[in-house]
Amino acid sequence: MAHTRRRQSGARSASRGRRTAAPREPQPGPTLELEVERIAHGGVSVARHEGRVVFVADAIPGERVLAQVVDAGHDRFWRADTLSVLRASTDRREHVWPEASVDREPAQRPGGAEFGHIRLARQRELKAEVLRDALARMGGVEWDVEVLPVRPELAPGVSVDDGTGWRTRVRLHVDAEGAVGPYAARSHTVVHVTSLPLAVPELAELAPLDERFPGARAIDLVAPSSGAAAVVVEGEGRTPRGEPPVIEEVVGDRTFRLDRDGFWQVHRGAAATLTQAVQELVDPDRFDPRAANQDLYGGVGLLAAAVGDRFGAGVRITTVEADVRATEHAGANLAEWVGARAVTARVDRYLDTLLAGSASERAGLHDATIVIDPPRSGAGRDVVDRLAELAPRQLVYVACDPVALARDVGFLAERGYRLEALRAFDLFPNTHHVEAVARLTAIV
């Protein structure tokens, strides 16, 4: 399971204040032989049966599979799990996580490695296809996408051959009997596994897969780049008083402090990869170090530091984050830059404050570069409209969801900004997730 960012998005939830319906129970359907056509967002492939779309898991485009329909409750599409492969793709390989193999009953396959049966190079092609298709459909942009691997020197110890050994954070769950394991794919059922191949070796060795933890809810495994790995048991009792434990993460020559349970990029080489990408995507000809530069959804200051290291100690930049503890760490992590400051605020409300500023204050924003690293749901229409009204010179958008990025690129195009540069990275090998960094500039 890809690490979920524990931050508020800038826009208020549309469901707040409304009564939500009870979850709909899946309706099982028939067993079908399916010709798999193409990949879809979310790690599933697309097939058709009598004109109806079937989203099928654990298949590869070009294959013929026997699949069990697990949800036939939708009028326009069904969902299915592959039971066996009748005609295999040349891109199929032995699954990197044996417990997630198609040979195992679907209900017992752990989630979080949904591309593990696909050759690594083909995984990246499929991720590029999803991003390219999303940009065309939702962003109105035709773009030749290439998904790049993490450079080996940025992620020592990570396998470049099969995409394993990269996760520095793993969450395991605990069932009613105290048994430990990941959730089954698309389920909240805890399944037993004997290995965690995507985890960095120190976590794979520490994982208490054969132990029992009665009364606990979850087990977090954390391996910071500096210091010892830890097993953290999340229990049913009250949270202990006092400040949470702090860890250190090293990126190049720089050290960042953050809470152990705070957000950090999960791939061992992700923080360094994104640091370099942001530094390269900021157009130096458009960058003004004296402008009111911004780092939105800034966490503990990783990308603000990337900008500071690229353009010097005199850079003026404000990092904005809704989480109080993260902002406190950001202030300390950015202390060497005289022009840096850390603000605790929701991004949409912070932008409202900027928009309410004086004409001279607003003028400083017109020359600004704004880095934005929103949660998986993206920035959304409300934040995009506020950004466009501020009219900065350039936006550097870090995205962990291709559909959210494409939607926001479309929103920005409506407000006079065009996609000028894009890089995509395979920060989640053997899953469907992909990270992208884009530069958007005002259309003159």
Q: Which are the catalytic amino acids?
A: 400
What is the rounded CA–CA span in Å between residue 258 and residue 252? Answer: 17
What is the rounded CA–CA span in Å between residue 293 and residue 370? Answer: 6
Q: What is each CA distance from 312 to 60, 284, 338, 341, in whole angstroms? A: 47, 12, 11, 15
Alpha-carbon Rg for the chain, nearest whole angstrom, is 22
The response to whether 297 counts as a known ligand-binding position is yes
What is the rounded CA–CA span in Å between residue 186 and residue 346? Answer: 31
Cα 340–Cα 244–Cα 297 angle in degrees, nearest 5: 35
Q: What is each CA distance from 257 to 1, 264, 269, 270, 340, in whole angstroms? A: 25, 10, 17, 16, 17
| 8 Å CB contact between 298 and 304 | yes
Beta-ladder partners of 212: 179
The response to whether 265 counts as a known ligand-binding position is yes
Concatenating the DSSP letter of every residue in 309-365 gives HHH-TT--EEEEES-HHHHHHHHHHTTT-TTEEEEES-HHHHHHHHHTS-HHHHHHH
What is the rounded CA–CA span in Å between residue 274 and residue 265? Answer: 9
Residue numbers in the known binding site for S-adenosyl-L-methionine are 265, 297, 321, 373
Binding residues: 265, 297, 321, 373
